[in-house]
Amino acid sequence: MQVPLQITFRHMDTSEVLAARIRNRAEELERSFDRIISCHVVVECRHQRPQQGNLFEVRVDLNVPGREIVVGHDPAPRHAHEDPHVAVRDAFDAVRRLLEDYVRQRRGDVKLHAVPDHGTVARLIAEQDYGFIATADGSEIYFHRNSVANGGFDKLAVGDEVRFVVQEAESAKGPQASTVVAVGKHHLPPAQSVRG
């Protein structure tokens, strides 16, 4: 880390055992991503309840290039956080998951979900279980019965509006839709009455 780890205890005595656990967890984060700028951990005794035990909140503020990752576990719904070691574990587990997401995004490993295109059914060859979709740019996209969501192939008719996702590899018949969803009548705007 560029800035040394900071550990703050609030409304409780400093615990060297807990501080050592926090240092170990911070070092694990640094081994998985060596460009961490800073890490500040606050352990706070939020509710002092003599009969049931104290509840602890742990906040981890991790600075990495271009982003701040903050996790704060409120003890109210988690009675397991009567143990500060459990609260530290849960907070660092959450930070680790967020850091892993951040690293995947930086590497470009995050899968982007395809946005469906719109088109209309141009041709149906029902006896051979396929058809073609006419797109806005004038091209045609092949689709097979198995690509139509909810077993809706038999309900399609030429001219029906559909949403579709084109798969990366082309078929023998050209670009192919991996998913086809019929756009129901409820998606069409209401008819306008014309008065003369």
Three-state DSSP class for residue 96: helix
pLDDT tens for 38-64 read 999 999 987 665 556 788 899 999 999
Rounded Cα gap, residues 66 and 144, in angstroms: 44
Residue 196 has pLDDT above 50, yes or no: no
The structural domains of the chain, ordered by start, are 6-107 (3.30.160.100), 117-186 (2.40.50.140)
Name the H helices within the chain: 16-32, 84-107
| 48 secondary structure, DSSP code | -
Q: Say which residue, 91 or 81, is predicted with more confidence.
A: 91
CB distance 58 to 42 below 8 Å: yes
Average model confidence (pLDDT) for the chain?
82
**Lowest mean per-residue pLDDT among 47-51, 98-102, 173-177:** 47-51
Residue 160 sits at the vertex; the CA angle it makes with 156 and 163, to the nearest 5 degrees, is 95
